[in-house]
Structure 1
Amino acid sequence: MNERFKASALLNPMFPDEITFNEKGVTFKVRKALSSTDNFVFYNDISGVEIEAGIFFSTIRIIPRMRQEIIMKNFSKGDAKKVKELLLQKVQS
């Protein structure tokens, strides 16, 4: 399973956030103008997933155990819902 989700390029065309699923965990790439942060989290280290839905876009908040939360912005509502479903499915299995 190698699924990838990118934030909308509408609000941030040059540096969209990205979420990549693989066999053991998930990578969260938060991009900024001059830097980016890659966070790899094993599925069993995720304690929660929250979605803040706006009119057009959603913010995904990942709550890992023993770490600071990871905030991913500007995902479509459908992608945010799919990311949450996949994470919860992997965390429970």
Structure 2
Amino acid sequence: MSERYSASGLMNPFFPDEITFGEKGVTFKISKLFRSTDNFVFYSDISGVEVESGMFFSTIRVIPRMRPEIIINNFTKGDAKKVKELILERVQS
């Protein structure tokens, strides 16, 4: 069973970024106008998660080992906090 979180539709109503939790890892889908990028990272390969909150929305930074960081934008503060908690919970297991 996988959980999915989507970025707010206010900033990018047609192509919101998505985070999907799977059994072995997490998938980050970063969408642009004519393309999207899917990044799958095993939980064991994640070394940290940071949340930067603005007035309305938050940015999530996932820091994998041996790869560049993954940045996903425009999540609600509550969703960003929940995503961080879920990732760190599964990384420590």
| TM-score normalised to structure 2 length | 0.99
Give unmatched runs, 5+ long, in structure 1.
none
CA RMSD of aligned residues (A): 0.5
The yes-or-no answer on 1:59 pairing with 2:63 is no
- Aligned pairs for 1:1-93 within 5 A: 1-93=1-93
SS in 2 for 1:82: helix
Output the TM-score relative to the length of structure 1: 0.99
Following superposition, the deviation at residue 13 of structure 1 comes to 0.3
* CA displacement, residues 10-62 of structure 1 (integer Å, 9 cap, x when unaligned): 01001100000010000000000010000000000000000000011000000
Query: How far apart are the structure 2 equivalents of 1:63 and 1:22?
Result: 18
Segments of 5+ residues of structure 2 without an aligned counterpart are none
Provide the C-alpha distance between the structure 2 equivalents of 1:54 and 1:31, rounded to a whole number of angstroms. 21
Residue 60 of structure 1 aligns with an amino acid whose one-letter code is I
Separation in structure 2 between the aligned mates of residue 58 and residue 28 of structure 1, nearest angstrom: 15
Task: Please identify runs of 4+ aligned residues in structure 1 that moved more than 2 A.
Answer: none
| Distance in 2 (alpha carbons) for counterparts of 1:14 and 1:23 | 28
Report % sequence identity.
74
